[in-house]
Each structure stands twice: as C-alpha cells, then as structure tokens.
Chain A
Amino acid sequence: MNANARTRLLVRTAARLHAQYVARSKDELMQRLEPVDGMLCAYVDELRRTETLLTRAHRRGLHLCQRRLRQRYERSLQGAVLRLDQMQRRWNEPWPKPPTQRELYEELVAAFEEFGGVDCDWHDKTISVHTDRIVLEGLSLGSFRIVMRASLIARSDPSGWYCIEAMEPNPASSNEEIVHPHVDGDQLCAGDALVPIGNALRQGRLCDFFVLVRSVLETYNPHSAYVELENWDGVSCHDCGYVVDSDNSYYCESCEHSFCDECMSICEVCHTTQCRGCLMRSELSGMCVCDGCCARCSGCDQLCTLDELDDELCSSCLEERDEQEITHDDNQQTTRKDHVDCGQTPAQAVPAAAVTTAAPAGADAVCAGVAQTPVPVPCR
C-alpha cells in the first residue's frame, strides 16, 4: 500500500471512529439526565405529603403527631438535599469530549509507526495491530494481534472494546485457552493497566491504548497468572487439577488419565500404580486394591480382596455355610440312630398287628417302635 492509499484509509477510519465517539458522548448526556425523574421526585412528593399532614396536625393541636411529622419532613429534606448534591457532582464531572477526527487520524498514524502497520477492517469494524514475538522467561508465546472493536464504542464499558488474538499460539498444555499467562481465550486481564487502558480508549488515545496492551503482554506477573510459566508445559491432574511438570505426573492405566503424586496410589496386593479413584477398598480389611485383586462375596456382597474369599465366600459367610452343613448332617445322623435302636432298619419295620391284615394299597410300612399297634383304618 503506498503512502497516499494509506493516508486515505486512515482518514476514512478516523472519520468512522469519530462518528462512534460522538454517538457515545450523546449517550453520556442521556445517562446523566436519567436519574432526575426517579429518586428526587420521590423525595419531593414525600415533602408535599408531609407538609399537608403537618399543617393539619398544627390546626388540630396534635402535638405528638406534629413532632413525628417534623422528623419525617426533616428526613425527606435531607434525602432530597443529598440526592441533589449527588446529581450536581455527577453533572460537574468532566464531560467526555469526543476526540476530533484529526486527533483520531494522528493516533492512527502514531500507531502505524509504532507497530509497523495498522489493519483497519470496517466490514468487521475492527482496528488492529500486531506485536512482535513475545518471549517471557525464555518461553516463546508467538506474536499477538490487539483488536479494537469500534462497533462497541457507542455502547459499552471500554474494557469490552478490545480482544487479543494469538497469531502463533503456544498455549499452556493444561488449558489450550490460555495462550498467555494473562490471556484467557481472547480476553486480557489487564491488571495494573486496567484504568489507563480504559482512559485511553474513552479519550480516543488509540496509540496509547495499543502500547499499554503491548506492555501487559510483554510483562509476566507470576503472582497472578492463569498458568505459571514454570507449569506451562505441565500436566493438569485429572483429579485435583493441580498442574505438575510432565516428569512428575503419573499415568493411570485403568482410567487412562494423568495425575499428580498426591492423587496416585498403589494396589496393596499386586503393587500396580493406579489413581485413588480407580482403587477400591476392601470392606473387611480396608486394604486398597485394584479391581483385579478384589471381588464381591457371593453371600453378603461385601467387597473383599481375593485372599479374603474362599470359594467365593468371605470368612463370615463361609462359617455360616459350614454351620448349616453341620446342622444338616446332625439331623440326618439323629434320624439314622433312631432306626438302629429299634433293631430294624426302616425298610424292615412292619407292625405285628398289620401282619394279619394286609396294608392298604399304597400305604408305607412304618416301624412304630414300642407304640401300640394301631388298627389299620382303610383309606377312604
């Protein structure tokens, strides 16, 4: 672009910016006038009402009532005076004088010379400059584009008028949105530069604005960074979020995430390394084990280590099962013993009286022992 074309571009851009600033200054007037109808009128109305009541109370000789109404009148009067004082102070604040078109043009020329170029895109209504490559404590973060959004001038607070774009992003490994220790996404946290940047933008000192933003990008504040430079290439613990150097991070093969040493542990049986989230705790002994070294008791469903199970049962359930088996065996033995005492096996026992009468068809012979021989009763 030759000098003439550049001049024409900057002049046109200055004219458009000037229109935005003029619109903003008109808005400022309306903002200062707005509060008049609100709070002050309420105080005046209250004064009128109280005055009427006070007059009546005075006529009727209501002294106690008068005293209260006087207090009420005084409070409303003080409120009105305070409100008027606030309004006057606000009115007396310096009126934002929009920068002239000439001033804006000179600012754009100064920014062009300071940064080696200014991009004016009136389709997007942005004005931007590029910084050189930013290197902080040996870490290269690439160059950045500082973008001023002219469409927002008429409307919003200056802190929202600009954004930052990383041209050769080298984001923190723990969060790819952090492209600079003080930039999250496209938002710069200006810190100590917040007020000067706001003032520069409001007053149309565009070159000062760009230089201030560049100064923040070129300065590292380790006490208030989204990600510290020492952890820039670190790994974020999947559990607690702490960023550690990649050499000091641990990998859990069970869930396939990285963790810090505080959030990692080992299986107390097979000694494999796993995160605390993947390890389980035996409900019997409290041991931390991996899922390959534990199982649930098929009796009570408690989680136990494999060593704590026998035949898929924990010691309590096993004991209970054994007791049941013993009891069953005992019952069977008792039944057998009774048959042995009467000298016959159960198969051989036939009542004497039953010999003379044939047992009803289908009836089983029973050894009655020493019981009297019952008289067979035919089945009905």
Chain B
Amino acid sequence: MQVFFINNHGGGFADTMTVRDGITVGELFNQQMPGCEPHDYLIRVNRQPCTADQVIREGDRISITPTKIEGARLAA
C-alpha cells in the first residue's frame, strides 16, 4: 500500500512510498531509521501522536522529526 512518508532527519525527504499491509509505526521506523532510537524523534501519523504498535493504513501521512538537532554559528 502507498503511504506518504516524511523524514525530517538529514536531507528531509517527503515522498510516497510502498509499504506492506499491516505494518506498524514501530516497524516502519525501524525499517527507515536503522540504529536510531524512537525517543529521539517526534513521530506523527496524520499529524497526530501515535503509538509504536499503531497499524498504518493506506494513504496515511507519517512524519519523523528529530527532537535534537545541532545548530551552528555562521562563519564571520
């Protein structure tokens, strides 16, 4: 099934992707963000808070946004 996935980590792509039926949010996270911890991210489905075991449905919008991002200073 097709879902809209927004990864705001790094390059921050947003695009539709195909996932298997019945996949949960937690499974999708582990698939797309290997080695990352969910608690370091704001994970939303259709702009709403969700649980790891929430089943994703056709057309859902899933966004993953890091809660800790290093800023910088502009070079003089």
CA distance A106 to B42 in the complex (A): 17
CA distance A130 to B47 in the complex (A): 19
* A189 in complex: contacting residue of B9, B68, B74, CB < 8 Å: B74
CA distance A106 to B67 in the complex (A): 21
Task: Tell me whether A205 and B71 are in contact (CB under 8 A).
Answer: no
What would 9 more interface pairs be, CB under 8 Å, given A193-B71, A212-B8?
Answer: A188-B71, A191-B71, A196-B65, A215-B65, A215-B67, A215-B69, A216-B71, A219-B69, A221-B71
Q: What chain A residues lie within 8 Å of B35 (beta carbons)? A: none
- A268 on interface, CB distance cutoff 8 Å: no
- Is the interface on chain A under 10, 10 to 19, 20 to 34, or 35 or more residues? 20 to 34
Taking the closest CB of chain A, its distance from the CB of B12, in whole angstroms, is: 3
Task: Tell me whether A221 and B74 are in contact (CB under 8 A).
Answer: no
Task: Tell me whether B12 and A199 are in contact (CB under 8 A).
Answer: yes
Task: Tell me whether B67 and A208 are in contact (CB under 8 A).
Answer: no
Taking the closest CB of chain A, its distance from the CB of B9, in whole angstroms, is: 7
Q: What chain B residues lie within 8 Å of A46 (beta carbons)? A: none
Residues 17 to 75 of chain B near chain A (Cβ within 8 Å):
42, 44, 47-48, 63, 65-74
Task: Tell me whether A211 and B42 are in contact (CB under 8 A).
Answer: yes
B6, B65, B66 — most chain A CB neighbours (10 Å): B65
* B73 in complex: contacting residue of A192, A211, A224, CB < 8 Å: A224
CA distance A184 to B72 in the complex (A): 11
CA distance A184 to B76 in the complex (A): 12
Closest to A197 in B: B12
User: What are 14 A-B interface contacts by the 8 Å CB criterion?
Assistant: A110-B44, A110-B48, A187-B74, A189-B71, A189-B73, A191-B69, A195-B11, A196-B8, A196-B9, A196-B65, A207-B47, A212-B8, A216-B71, A224-B72
CA distance A211 to B70 in the complex (A): 14
Task: Tell me whether B6 and A218 are in contact (CB under 8 A).
Answer: no
- B1 on interface, CB distance cutoff 8 Å: no
